[in-house]
């Protein structure tokens, strides 16, 4: 009897999802401790806090990676990584790492990875972290999931990295099954920062950079700090007041600014206000703006679209002011005032002004 023809090979099946034997030696969770001009970006401590959960779930060590010049700030960063629960710190100290440049930082990181073989490597999704993560992932030919909102360990011990997709309307979970390390970046304030334990310390593994200045194309001629003192510090503000399209006219932004001033708060907005040029982009809160985690968030005339929600729902307390009782923001706000923001904002400003000046006099 004639045999039926063999089925053609399925397209796109060639890629294996099985971890190759030589990558099975990769162990431990690493966090890049972002050090610039002697100061560590706080996202590093947020990532170490999150990394601790992943390391515990895997039963492995949590390690920090500190790259910088031999200096007091670098020593401090190493010590603090232990306070935020690292078991070990890999440090490369070299004058060539004094200012961030992609080439020496990528070399330092990829050499460390190739030698010490971590299974997970996390970086902050800052300007520096994004630049470094992309270069390291391409050099190591591994997977990188950017701007993760959730990290977990799945049943087969892979990193399940969740991030928004399709314009934030869906969440997708991405795995790097056939390469190591599994890399991810996380934006500042997306993960909570744990309390430091100043009594903790650990092992420091020092490696050398093995590079000379002539091998580096990029030269830093000068460092000029940003002179704009009005820059928004939304991500780490304790109180944030924000306005949305419910403010109706650009001049009504002043109502938000007034309340923020009385409360000693930062102010921000939803995306349409930036698109209309009513506020600068550094004040936008949400998926394509800043993620905030204040103790109090007051949102006035903001509908609470998913893209705004993902950047603000980490606030301890959310007070929404909206004229529509069915606005989606009331689904996640802790307190709500249904009414006209143009009347309620000045009333709140006045009430807080009086209350706080009484408290100040009493204090
Ligand atoms: C890829 C992508 C990324 C995005 N990223 C972001 C982002 O990072 N941040 C962000 O905010 N948005 C983002 N958006 C836009 C988002 O989908 C919404 O369109 C936006 O958040 C809506 O802004 P809003 O709530 O100010 O305006 P609207 O949706 O127009 O809502 C205005 C609200 O004000 C209320 N209101 C009207 N008048 C008054 C009044 N007098 N007093 C009180 N309340 C009043 C209304 O009831 C309504 O709820 C993104 C969209 C896409 C597609």
Q: Which CATH architecture does the domain made up of 22-215 adopt?
A: 3-Layer(aba) Sandwich (3.40)
Per-residue model confidence (pLDDT) at position 169: 77
Per-residue model confidence (pLDDT) at position 343: 98
Burial 117-132 (b: 16+ CB within 10 A, else e): bbbbbbbbbbebbbbb
Tell me how far apart the 2 most distant CA atoms of the chain are, in Å.
101
Predicted confidence (pLDDT) at residue 163 exceeds the cutoff of 90 = yes
The answer to whether 203 touches 87, Cβ cutoff 8 Å, is yes
Identify the residue whose C-alpha is closest to ligand 1 atom 53: 167
Per-residue model confidence (pLDDT) at position 9: 47
pTM of the full structure: 0.83
- Higher-confidence residue of 232 and 135: namely 135
Q: Is the CB of 110 under 6 A from ligand 1?
A: no
Distance of CA 303 to the CA centre of its chain: 24
Residue 236's region, left for phi above 0, alpha for psi from -120 to 50, else beta, is alpha
The answer to whether 84 touches 150, Cβ cutoff 8 Å, is no
- Please provide the DSSP assignment of 176-207 as one string: --SSSSEEEEE-TTSSPPPPP-TT---EEEEE
Question: In the chain, which segments carry CATH 3.40.50.620?
Answer: 22-215
Which CATH fold would you assign to the domain 234-362? Rossmann fold (3.40.50)
Rounded Cα distance between 48 and 184, Å, is 13
Ligand 1 atom with the shortest distance to the CA of 245: 26
Per-residue model confidence (pLDDT) at position 227: 67
The answer to whether 295 touches 279, Cβ cutoff 8 Å, is no
Confidence of residue 207 (pLDDT cuts 50, 70, 90): very high
344 is in an annotated binding site: no
270 is in an annotated binding site: yes
Question: In the chain, which segments carry CATH 3.40.50.1220?
Answer: 234-362
Average pLDDT, integer, range 43-51: 98
Sign of CA dihedral 106, 109, 115, 119: negative
Query: What does the pLDDT look like over 221-260, one tens digit per residue?
Result: 998 887 666 677 899 999 999 999 999 999 999 999 999 9
Other residues' Cβ atoms within 10 Å of the Cβ of residue 197:
11
Distance 147 CA to ligand 1 centre (A): 22
Query: What does the pLDDT look like over 93-128, one tens digit per residue?
Result: 999 999 999 999 999 999 999 999 999 999 999 999
Query: What does the pLDDT look like over 278-310, one tens digit per residue?
Result: 999 999 999 999 999 999 999 999 999 999 999
Per-residue model confidence (pLDDT) at position 215: 96
What mean pLDDT is reported for the chain? 93
């Amino acid at each position: 009897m004639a045999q039926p023809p063999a089925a053609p090979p399925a397209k796109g099946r060639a890629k294996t999802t099985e971890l190759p034997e030589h990558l099975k030696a990769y162990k431990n969770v690493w966090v890049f401790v972002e050090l610039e001009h002697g100061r560590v970006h706080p996202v590093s401590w947020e990532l170490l806090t999150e990394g601790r959960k992943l390391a515990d779930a895997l039963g492995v060590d949590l390690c920090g990676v500190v790259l910088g010049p031999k200096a007091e700030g670098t020593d401090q960063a190493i010590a603090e990584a232990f306070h935020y629960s690292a078991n070990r710190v890999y440090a490369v100290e070299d004058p060539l790492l004094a200012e961030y440049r992609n080439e020496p930082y990528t070399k330092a990181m990829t050499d460390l990875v190739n030698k010490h073989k971590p299974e997970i490597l996390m970086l902050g999704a800052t300007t520096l972290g994004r630049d470094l993560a992309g270069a390291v992932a391409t050099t190591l030919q591994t997977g990188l999931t950017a701007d993760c909102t959730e990290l977990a360990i799945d049943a087969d011990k892979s990193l399940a990295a969740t991030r928004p997709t399709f314009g934030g309307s869906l969440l997708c979970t991405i795995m790097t099954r056939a390469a190591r390390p599994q890399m991810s970046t996380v934006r500042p304030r997306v993960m909570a920062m744990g309390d430091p334990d100043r009594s903790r310390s650990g092992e420091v593994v020092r490696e050398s950079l093995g590079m000379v200045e002539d091998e580096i194309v990029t030269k830093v001629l000068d460092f000029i700090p940003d002179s704009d003192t009005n820059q928004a510090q939304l991500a780490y503000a304790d109180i944030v007041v924000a306005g949305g399209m419910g403010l109706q006219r650009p001049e009504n932004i002043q109502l938000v600014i007034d309340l923020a001033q009385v409360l000693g708060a930062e102010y921000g907005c939803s995306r349409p206000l930036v698109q209309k040029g009513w506020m600068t982009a550094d004040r936008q809160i949400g998926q394509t703006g800043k993620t905030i985690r204040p103790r109090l968030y007051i949102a006035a005339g903001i509908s609470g679209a998913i893209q705004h929600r993902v950047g603000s729902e980490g606030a301890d307390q959310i007070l929404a002011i909206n004229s529509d009782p069915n606005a989606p923001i009331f689904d996640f706000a802790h307190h709500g005032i249904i009414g006209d923001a143009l009347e309620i904002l000045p009333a709140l400003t006045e009430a807080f002004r009086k209350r706080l000046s009484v408290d100040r006099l009493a204090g």
